[in-house]
Structure 1
Amino acid sequence: MNLSVAMCTFNGEKYIAEQLESILQQTIAVDEIVVCDDGSTDATWEILERYKNQYPAVFRIFKNEKTLKVTKNFEKAINLCTKDIIFLCDQDDLWLPDKTQKIVEFFENNPDKSAVCHDLQLMKEGKILEYTNWYTLNFSPIELEEMSFSERLLFRGNVITGAGFAFRNFRTEIELDTLSSKFLHDRQLGLFFALENKLGAISESLSVYRLHENQQVGTNLKIREAKMEEFQEFRKSNPRLKINFYNSAMEYWAQNLKFVSQERINTLILSKLAEQKKKYFNSLPLFKRKLTQIIWWVNKRYYTQLKELL
């Protein structure tokens, strides 16, 4: 397998050389590093030119004529990649030495998967923290034994980070959505492959994610506490409350997505709604079942919101 790196930069002079060195020192060498700079005003471009001159067969660097911002800049970098496997890469993290080897082994051993994500060590002020990225998000791949990856991403929150994501080259140009700052390139790609049942996970940390005040996206331990409380409340809730949850999910995800299949999202949420409605319906006395049937039928037929009767 030949390997591409899709990196985007913007005023990253402080850490970018350290990141590039960690990529160049992999046990399995990458074949190309595609870098799209989004108008840096510091020394980032000069650093990139230095590496381009030192490794002309590996580096392909591009300076955007106008600002694209993160999602469209990564879209550009991905579309410029020419090799079999594409690694997403931020400008300020570190790759552990055997990252490419572990990713290549995963794809060789899992021909049915087109993408893979992995955990990340966390670094703050130069020190590796005791907990990892997925720990803060209250996620473990063990969860995927009980639910699909798409269910995890749709209903329990995103765990996909570009610093820990690689996928097989589409071999066709992609166009990512630019909906909001909360639905960036990595989240879109992760959900795309999850809905296709093509996303796998490596529980091991293969990169170091640097926490600092200038980064666009970060993580912290408070997220874990909130997620744990949220999940526990959901598990204890009755079918009626879960119906409300999935109705809210349907409303949240009604974003007219194009890159990610809106139809598949809707189908999955509707299936979960139907499952909880059946449980709720079967728990009711006979006369309430009849009344509930009438309400659901009218809502479906006329798209009206009836006053709560039960």
Structure 2
Amino acid sequence: MAIECKTKIAILMATYNGEEYVGEQLDSILNQTFKDWTLYVHDDGSSDGTMGVVKRYASQYPNKIVVIDGPSTGGAKTNFFYLMNEVVADYIMFSDQDDFWLPQKIEKTYKKCLELEDSHTDEPIAIFTDLKVVDKDLNVLSEKMSSYQTLKMDNTDINKLMIQNVVTGCTMMINRICRDMSLKCKDYNRVIMHDWWCALVASYFGRIGYVGESLIEYRQHGDNSVGAKNINSIGYIGNKLSKINDIKESLIATEDQIDLFAKTYYINNTLLNEYARLNEKGKISRCIFRIKNHIWKSGFTRNVGLLIFG
């Protein structure tokens, strides 16, 4: 039986061996200007002192922090899906264990969500924000990840979103309709990440809103499940060129995810169905299909790679 959150917003935090930074993240959430939230934490089998830190905070703030005991799920993606299944709330936010939320993150994200719901009632809604990219000591590397990674944050239409996700999970808020629809998925192995799936649901069936402020410090420390890379750096380009097969496999994974998406929601859509089978076409046919349907990633470098290797 899922937990019914008594506050307006449920924050879901997936933890794993995050002892070094989780206390700072918990402090940043506790210091939010908006207070009508409850934080739910599920650990994925940490071998360090992560849960000692979390339980100490939970005992100090029993009305704000809830520890969910449950089995190890095997990774951040499945841990967040597990939490989504375990908690029901009007609005859900996702929290990584190692970031730092700026004080108005919840307030401004929630305000944007309400604005979008006013004009789009009974639809799945997802809101996301920009991020400050910081090092392990919270020194700023870039004021906006959109600039650092050359991301077009308005690439949220389905034809753009199915090949690249610009909606970063740790900045997201989804409404209950989006949560309920997202949980219709039963094959997490074919989902690339939980945030990407939720964004696809909101894009296709509802609306995605963007707050153009950096409301979170996105810590880069070498152990991130997903990190921020400077795609214009020589190191990044060289690394990608040395892993051409990885590029091809990542593209096939996006096609498989869309195949699952269409089947999960019984969608008969030519664009989605053809994209799901794109790997069966020859290289020239794939290029023509992408050009015809404006299926591009953010940034010149990525799209050059897409033309050459896709």
TM-score scaled by length of structure 1: 0.70
Question: Judging changes above 3 Å, is the alpha-carbon distance between structure 1 residues 218 and 270 closer, same or farther for their aligned structure 2 residues?
Answer: same
Match of 1:12 in 2: 18
Distance 2:269 2:255 in 1: 8
Query: 1:154 aligned to 2:145?
Result: no
Identity of aligned residues (%): 28
* Corresponding residue SS for 1:14: helix
- The answer to whether the Cα contact below 8 Å between 1:191 and 1:260 also exists between their aligned partners in 2 is no
185, 188, 198: which one pairs with 1:189?
198
Alignment of 1:207-286 (within 5 A): 207-222=216-231, 253-255=255-257, 256-258=259-261, 264=267, 266-269=269-272
- The DSSP-based 3-state class of the residue aligned with 1:221 is coil
Shift of residue 82 of structure 1? Answer: 3.2
Bigger mean CA deviation after superposition, 65-74 or 36-45: 65-74
Q: Deviations over 1:224-246 (max 9, x none)?
A: 89999xxxxxxxxxxxxxxxxxx
Classify the secondary structure of the residue corresponding to 2:231. Answer: helix
- Residues 37-81 of structure 1: CA deviation (Å, up to 9, x unaligned): 011111111111111111111211123333432222111112222
**How far did 1:263 drift?**
5.7
CA distance in 1 between partners of 2:162 and 2:233 (Å): 17
Measure, in 2, the Cα distance between the counterparts of 1:199 and 1:76. Answer: 23
8 A Cα contact 1:24 1:30, kept in partner: no
Spell out the pairing of 1:17-56 with structure 2 (5 A cutoff).
17-56=23-62
Aligned length: 252
CA gap of 1:167–1:214, structure 2 versus 1, over 3 A, is: same
- Cα shift at 1:215: 1.2
Distance in 2 between residues matched to 1:79 and 1:259, nearest whole Å: 21
- CA RMSD for the aligned pairs? 3.4
Deviation at residue 114 of structure 1 after TM alignment: 1.2
CA distance in 1, matches of 2:101, 2:269: 37
CA 1:12/1:226 → structure 2, altered by over 3 Å: closer, same or farther? closer
TM-score by length of 2: 0.70
Q: Are 2:149 and 1:137 equivalent residues in the alignment?
A: yes
* Moved beyond 6 Å, runs of 4+: 224-228, 270-273
Q: Secondary structure at the match of 1:15?
A: helix
164, 189, 210: which one aligns with 2:171: 164
Deviates more, 1:187-196 or 1:91-100: 187-196
**Cα shift at 1:31:** 2.2
1:87 aligns with 2:66: no
Report the alpha carbon displacement of residue 149 of structure 1 after superposing the two structures with TM.
2.1
Unaligned runs of 5+ in 1: 229-248, 281-310
Find out whether 1:114 has 2:121 as its counterpart: no
Offset of residue 271 of structure 1: 8.8
> Which is higher, the Rg of structure 1 or of structure 2?
1
Please state whether the residue corresponding to 2:227 is helix, strand or coil.
coil
How many Å separate the matches in 1 of 2:229 and 2:104? 26
Find the aligned partners of 1:151 and 1:38 in 2 and give their Cα distance: 34
| Aligned residue in 2 for 1:297 | none
